[in-house]
C-alpha cells in the first residue's frame, strides 16, 4: 500500500511516520517551503520557481505519482491543481483518494454561529462560497473525508458519503514530559497563535495585562515567528499553555502541550464538551472568562502537576501515533 500525502501541513509528517511503522509506504510531500521549518519526507520547493515552472513541475509530479502511488491523501482541501482537474485524472487512473480537512478550509461562519458560538472567527480568504464550491468538487470524486474533531465534523457531515473523526497524531515518545511542580513563584505562561484573530490572542493579552497590573506574579511569552523546534522548546519550559479562545475545540498546540505534561487552557464549545472523553483535563475558557480562569489557575499551583499528569495520560490514550495510525489503515483498506 503506497500513499502520498500532499500538499502541505505539519500533521501529515507525523502521520506518515506512524503509517510506515504499520507497514504502509506513506510519503509526506510539501509543495512549498515554510517559515516553521517543518521537515516532510520531500518538498517540491515550488516557492523558488516562476509560475510557468511551477505549473510544469506539478504536472510532471502528478504523472510520476500516478505511476508510484496507490492512494492519494489530500490535506486542507487542496490537490495538485487549483481547479481540482487532477481529481478526474486520478479517478480515471483508478486511484483511491481521501480528503483531510483541518479547519479554515471548511469552517463556515454562519454554521458556527448557529452552534451558539459568538466568539468564532474565520479566515477571510475562505469565503463560504469558496468552501461550498471546493467541497462540492472534492465530494464528487472522493467518498471519505477526515477531520480531527467534532467541531469540524459539523460543517461537512452531510457533504461526503463517509466522514471520519480521528484525533491529532502525536508521537508521545518524542515528547519528554516536564511536569510543573507548582513551586515556581513566577510561572511561565505561553501562547502560540498561528493567527491572532482566529485564536483570540487579544483577549489573552488583555487578561495578562490586567492580571499583571493587579500584582499577580508570572511571566508571559507570546510565541510568534518561531520555528517548530523553537516552539516545542518553549512549550517544554512552560508552566501553563493557553491554546485558543474562539474556535471551540482543542487545537494541535493543546495536544503537544499535554504531551509535555503541561496544564492547558482552551475554549471547548458547550455542546462539544460531551463529545470528548471524560478524561480530557483541559481547563475551559472563552474570551469572556479568560481573565478569571487564568487567575484561578495561577493562584492554585497545586493543580498544575495534576493537570499535567492527566494531560499526558490523555494524549497517550487518544493521540499516540500507533493507536491513531491504525484508524487510517482501516480507512485505506476500505477505499
Q: What is the pLDDT along the chain (335 residues), one digit of tens a residue?
A: 999 999 998 889 999 999 999 999 999 999 999 877 888 999 999 999 999 999 999 999 999 999 999 999 999 999 999 999 999 999 999 999 999 999 999 999 999 888 889 999 999 999 999 999 999 999 999 999 999 999 999 999 899 999 999 999 999 999 999 999 888 999 999 999 989 999 999 999 999 999 999 999 999 999 998 888 899 999 999 999 999 999 999 989 999 999 999 999 999 999 999 999 999 999 999 999 999 999 999 999 999 999 999 999 999 999 999 999 999 999 999 99
* Cβ-Cβ contacts under 8 Å for 214 (sequence gap 6 or more): 295
- Per-residue pLDDT, 257: 97
- Per-residue pLDDT, 221: 97
Residue 44, domain CATH: 3.40.50.2000
The whole-model pTM stands at 0.92
190 and 211 in a common domain: yes
83 and 187 in a common domain: no
Within 13 Å, how many C-alpha atoms sit on residue 130's CB side? 15
3-state SS assignment for residue 242: strand
Instruction: State the residue range of the domain holding 137.
Output: 2-171+320-333
- Per-residue pLDDT, 35: 77
137 and 67 in a common domain: yes
d(CA 151, CA 249): 6
214 and 97 in a common domain: no
307 and 328 in a common domain: no
Residue 328 main-chain phi, psi, to 5 deg: -70, -40
Instruction: Enter the C-alpha cell of residue 173.
Output: 515518545
Beta strand residue intervals within the chain, DSSP E = 2-6, 25-30, 42-43, 71-75, 96-100, 144-147, 162-165, 188-191, 219-222, 240-242, 264-266, 283-284
Beta bridge partners of 221: 190
246 and 280 in a common domain: yes
Distance in angstroms between the alpha carbons of the first and the last residue of the chain:
12
158 and 199 in a common domain: no
166 and 145 in a common domain: yes
Burial class of residue 217, CB neighbours in 10 A (0-12, 13-18, 19+): exposed
43 and 26 in a common domain: yes
154 and 18 in a common domain: yes
Q: Which helix (H) or strand (E) holds 228?
A: helix 228-237
Task: Yes or no: say if 95 and 69 are a contact pair by the CB < 8 Å rule.
Answer: yes
195 and 163 in a common domain: no
- Per-residue pLDDT, 194: 87
180 and 107 in a common domain: no
- Per-residue pLDDT, 263: 98
Q: Which helix (H) or strand (E) holds 30?
A: strand 25-30
Based on the structure, what is the number of domains in the chain?
2
- Per-residue pLDDT, 186: 94
Amino acid at each position: 500500500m503506497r500513499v502520498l500525502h500532499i500538499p502541505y501541513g505539519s500533521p501529515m509528517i507525523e502521520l506518515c511516520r506512524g503509517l510506515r511503522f504499520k507497514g504502509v509506504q506513506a510519503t509526506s510531500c510539501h509543495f512549498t517551503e515554510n517559515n516553521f521549518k517543518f521537515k516532510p519526507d520531500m518538498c517540491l520547493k515550488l516557492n523558488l520557481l516562476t509560475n510557468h515552472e511551477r505549473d510544469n513541475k506539478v504536472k510532471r509530479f502528478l504523472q510520476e505519482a500516478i505511476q508510484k502511488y496507490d492512494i492519494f491523501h489530500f490535506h486542507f482541501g487542496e490537490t495538485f491543481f487549483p481547479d481540482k482537474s487532477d481529481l478526474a485524472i486520478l479517478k480515471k487512473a483508478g486511484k483511491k483518494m481521501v480528503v483531510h480537512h483541518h479547519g479554515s478550509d471548511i469552517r463556515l461562519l454562519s454554521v458556527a454561529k448557529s452552534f451558539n458560538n459568538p466568539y468564532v472567527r474565520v479566515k477571510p480568504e475562505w469565503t463560504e462560497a469558496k468552501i461550498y464550491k471546493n467541497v462540492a468538487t472534492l465530494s464528487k470524486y472522493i467518498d471519505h473525508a477526515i477531520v480531527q474533531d467534532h467541531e469540524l465534523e459539523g460543517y461537512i457531515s452531510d457533504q461526503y458519503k463517509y466522514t471520519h473523526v480521528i484525533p491529532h497524531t502525536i508521537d508521545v515518545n518524542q515528547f519528554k514530559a516536564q511536569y510543573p511542580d507548582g513551586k515556581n513563584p513566577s510561572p511561565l505562561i505561553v501562547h502560540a497563535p498561528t493567527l491572532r484573530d482566529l485564536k483570540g490572542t487579544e483577549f489573552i493579552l488583555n487578561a495578562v495585562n490586567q492580571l499583571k497590573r493587579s500584582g499577580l506574579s508570572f511571566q508571559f511569552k507570546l510565541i510568534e515567528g518561531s520555528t517548530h523546534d523553537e516552539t516545542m522548546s518553549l512549550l517544554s519550559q512552560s508552566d501553563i499553555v493557553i491554546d485558543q479562545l474562539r474556535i471551540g475545540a482543542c487545537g494541535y498546540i493543546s495536544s503537544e502541550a499535554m504531551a509535555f505534561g503541561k496544564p492547558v487552557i482552551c475554549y471547548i464549545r458547550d455542546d462539544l464538551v460531551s463529545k470528548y472523553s471524560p478524561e480530557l483535563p483541559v481547563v475551559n475558557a472563552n474570551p469572556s472568562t479568560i481573565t478569571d480562569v487564568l487567575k484561578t489557575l495561577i493562584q492554585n499551583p497545586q493543580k498544575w502537576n495534576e493537570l499535567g499528569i492527566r494531560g499526558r495520560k490523555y494524549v497517550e490514550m487518544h493521540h499516540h501515533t500507533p493507536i491513531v495510525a491504525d484508524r487510517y489503515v482501516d480507512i485505506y483498506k476500505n477505499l
